[in-house]
Amino acid sequence: MSDTPDTLLLDTVNTPADLRKLAPKQLKQLADELRTETISAVGQTGGHLGSGLGVVELTVAIHYVFNTPDDRLIWDVGHQCYPHKILTGRRDRIRTLRQGGGLSGFTKRSESEYDPFGAAHSSTSISAALGFAIANKLNDAPGKAIAVIGDGSMSAGMAYEAMNNAEAAGNRLVVILNDNDMSIAPPVGGLSAYLARMVSSSEYLGLRSLASKLTSKLSKRVHKTASKVEEYARGMATGGTLFEELGFYYVGPIDGHNLEHLIPVLENVRDAKEGPVLVHVVTKKGKGYAPAENSADKYHGVQKFDVITGTQDKAPPGPPAYQNVFGDALVKEAATDSRIVAITAAMPSGTGVDRFAKAYPDRAFDVGIAEQHAVTFAAGLAAQGMRPFCAIYSTFLQRAYDQVVHDVAIQNLPVRFAIDRAGLVGADGATHAGSFDVTYLATLPNFVVMSPADEAELVHMTHTAVLHDSGPIALRYPRGNGTGVDLPQVPERLEIGKGRVVREGKTVAILSLGTRLAEALKAADALEAKGLSTTVADLRFAKPLDEDLIRRLLTTHEVAVTIEEAAVGGLGAHVLTYASDAGLIDAGLKLRTMRLPDVFQDQNKPELQYDEAKLNAQHIVETVLKALRHNSEGVAEARA
Ligand SMILES: Cc1ncc(C[n+]2csc(CCOP(=O)(O)OP(=O)(O)O)c2C)c(N)n1
Ligand SMILES: CC(=O)[C@@H](O)[C@H](O)COP(=O)(O)O
Ligand SMILES: [Mg+2]
| pLDDT tens digits, one per residue of 79-137 | 999 999 999 999 999 999 999 999 999 999 999 999 999 999 999 999 999 999 999 99
Lowest mean pLDDT among 15-19, 21-25, 203-207: 203-207
| 375 and 291 co-located in one domain | no
| 365 and 229 co-located in one domain | no
151 lines ligand 1 (CB under 6 A): yes
User: Looking at the predicted complex, does its ipTM rise above 0.90?
Assistant: yes
| 461 and 516 co-located in one domain | no
| 82 and 128 co-located in one domain | yes
- Residue 80: nearest ligand to its CA? 1
Bridge partners, residue 178, by sequence: 150, 281
Spatial neighbors of 619 by CB under 8 A, at least 6 apart, are: 594
Asked if residues 579 and 554 have their Cβ atoms less than 8 Å apart, the reply is yes
Report the pLDDT value the prediction gives residue 635, as an integer from 0 to 100.
78
Among 107, 369, 375, which is best to mutate for testing ligand 1, by the most ligand atoms less than 8 A from CB?
A: 369
In a domain, 467, yes or no: yes
Q: Which domain holds residue 337?
A: 322-476
| 541 and 612 co-located in one domain | yes
In a domain, 462, yes or no: yes
From 213, 234, 270, 285, the catalytic residue: 285
Give the CATH number, domain containing residue 108: 3.40.50.970
DSSP state of 584: T
Report the pLDDT value the prediction gives residue 577, as an integer from 0 to 100.
98
| pLDDT at 640 exceeding the cut of 50 | no
287 counts as catalytic = no
Give residue-wise pLDDT tens across range 322-372.
999 999 999 999 999 999 999 999 999 999 999 999 999 999 999 999 999
Give the CATH number, domain containing residue 521: 3.40.50.920
Report the pLDDT value the prediction gives residue 637, as an integer from 0 to 100.
75
Give residue-wise pLDDT tens across range 173-209.
999 999 999 999 999 999 888 888 888 776 665 555 5
Q: How many domains does the chain have?
A: 3
Give residue-wise pLDDT tens across range 368-382.
999 999 999 999 999
In a domain, 307, yes or no: no
Asked if residues 554 and 585 have their Cβ atoms less than 8 Å apart, the reply is no
426 lines ligand 2 (CB under 6 A): no
| 156 and 55 co-located in one domain | yes
| 152 and 259 co-located in one domain | yes
Q: Which atom of ligand 1 is nearest to the CA of 149?
A: 15
pTM: 0.94
Instruction: Tell how far the Cα of 261 is from the centroid of ligand 1, in angstroms.
Output: 27
| 123 and 262 co-located in one domain | yes
Q: Which atom of ligand 1 is nearest to the CA of 183?
A: 13
From 371, 455, 564, 565, the catalytic residue: 371
In a domain, 489, yes or no: no
- Rounded-to-10 torsion of CA 5, 9, 10, 16: -170
From 144, 387, 399, 595, the catalytic residue: 399
369 lines ligand 1 (CB under 6 A): yes
| 416 and 529 co-located in one domain | no
| 332 and 450 co-located in one domain | yes
- Res. 221 pLDDT band, cuts 50 70 90: very low
In a domain, 277, yes or no: yes
In a domain, 317, yes or no: no
In a domain, 639, yes or no: no
| 382 and 251 co-located in one domain | no
CA distances 87 to 13, 72, 90, 112, 556, Å, are 7, 15, 7, 12, 62
Spatial neighbors of 459 by CB under 8 A, at least 6 apart, are: 325, 329, 487, 488, 491
285 counts as catalytic = yes
For residues 2-24, average pLDDT: 88
Q: 499, 614, 504, 622: which is closest to 556 by C-alpha? A: 504
| 230 and 343 co-located in one domain | no
The residue contributing the CA closest to ligand 2 atom 6 is 428
399 counts as catalytic = yes
Report the pLDDT value the prediction gives residue 122, as an integer from 0 to 100.
98
In a domain, 492, yes or no: no
